[in-house]
Chain A
Amino acid sequence: MMDDLDRRLLDEFQRGFPLDPRPYAAIAGRLGCTEGEVLERLSRLKAEGAVARVGATFRPHRVGSSTLAAMAVPEERLEGVAALVDGFEEVNHNYQRAHRLNLWFVVTAPARERVEGVMAAISRATGLEVQEFPLVRAHRLDLGFPLWN
């Protein structure tokens, strides 16, 4: 079971992680516990699946090219089309959403030409239109969000 200390560990260090040679000691100082306790808890939370990793998320568009794309796939073809889309290593997110446009995915590649090539290939293979929704401006990147309080 999670307690208050677990929740604070998950909530207060989603960004601005200490760039101190001993970051877990710095965290322990802020939470009023020991470095060993922080490490033990994070290891447990990771084993339980609550923590994916202590690491980074990257800003889109800084390296290579990416775009959001969507398709209106007939319900009975959804599984097959989704599998085809998943098969492209350039596709890194692919979701079914409740809408006429029911399949949404992100295509990322080193160059714009390849992004366009992947969308064209998906369209050719399925006979369905692939609509593109390129980024115009990011107001908020994935900065995490508060889980409690």
Chain B
Amino acid sequence: MELIARERLLGWLRRGLPLVDRPYRAVAEDIGATEDDVIAEIARLTETGAVSRFGVIVDHQALGYTSNAMVVWDIPDDVVDAAGERLAGCRGVSLCYQRPRRGAEWPYNLFTMIHGRDPDEVARCVEALAESCGLTGVRRELLFTVRRFKQTAPCYGARRA
């Protein structure tokens, strides 16, 4: 697929496909490619990992999942990979990233996002996660989200309409 067409396809994926019976054909017509090309390119983007998820993107806030916390864990370095894999596979965990510690005040090296309908549900979920992953003795903190100032798609280059 030509670079321009590919860039425009990425724009469609970011904004959302049209809700019509043949969405790939509709996009193909707009970007000057074939339906098969569009399908193959989305498959390729997913396989290579450039796209982490392709599907129905739900708005958790609108569905009543109004509470979430960034939960940070202080995991011994030699088991942080294993703990990360276990936590990543658990229900309720939407993101699971290793990040560097920052001194005595910030000893946490594993960051997870946990969602729920209210703070109690988030807290119960964290408790259950710690139990099921063998992390009850591990120091952790819950940083509840108080306010969302900004949430937009990342800008990696020149903006396109």
Contact = CB atoms under 8 A, between A and B. Distances in A.
Interface in A49-101: 49-60, 62-64, 66, 68, 82-83, 85-86, 89-99, 101
Contacts of B49: 59, 62
A58 B62 contact: no
Interface residues of B, number: 72
B55 A54 contact: yes
Nearest to B56: A13
Interface in B79-131: 81, 84-85, 87-89, 91-100, 102, 106, 109, 111, 115
Contact of B13 (A50, A56, A131): A56
A138 interface: yes
Given A21-B25, A59-B51, A96-B145, A142 B88 contact: no
Given A51-B56, A55-B17, A139-B87, A95 B148 contact: yes
Give the size category of A's interface with B: 35 or more
A140 B96 CA distance: 5
A50 B54 contact: no
Contact of A140 (B63, B88, B145): B88
Interface in B43-75: 43, 45, 49-60, 62-63, 65, 69-70
Q: Is the interface of A mostly helix, strand, loop or mixed?
A: mixed
Nearest to A83: B149
Given A16-B55, A50-B59, A147-B65, A21 B70 contact: no
Candidate in B24, B45, B58, B102 with the most chain A CB atoms within 10 angstroms? B58
Nearest to A81: B149
B95 A53 contact: no
Contact of A92 (B65, B85, B145, B155): B155
A64 B92 CA distance: 29
B57 A108 contact: no
B53 A141 contact: yes
Contact of A135 (B63, B99, B150): B99
11 contacts: A16-B54, A39-B20, A55-B12, A62-B50, A64-B157, A104-B70, A140-B88, A140-B89, A140-B95, A140-B97, A147-B65
Interface of A: 9-10, 13-17, 19, 21-25, 35, 39, 42-43, 46, 48-60, 62-64, 66, 68, 82-83, 85-86, 89-99, 101-102, 104-106, 108-110, 131, 133-147
Given A144-B55, A147-B60, 11 more contacts: A16-B54, A17-B54, A22-B21, A25-B21, A86-B149, A91-B150, A95-B146, A105-B150, A109-B156, A142-B94, A144-B94
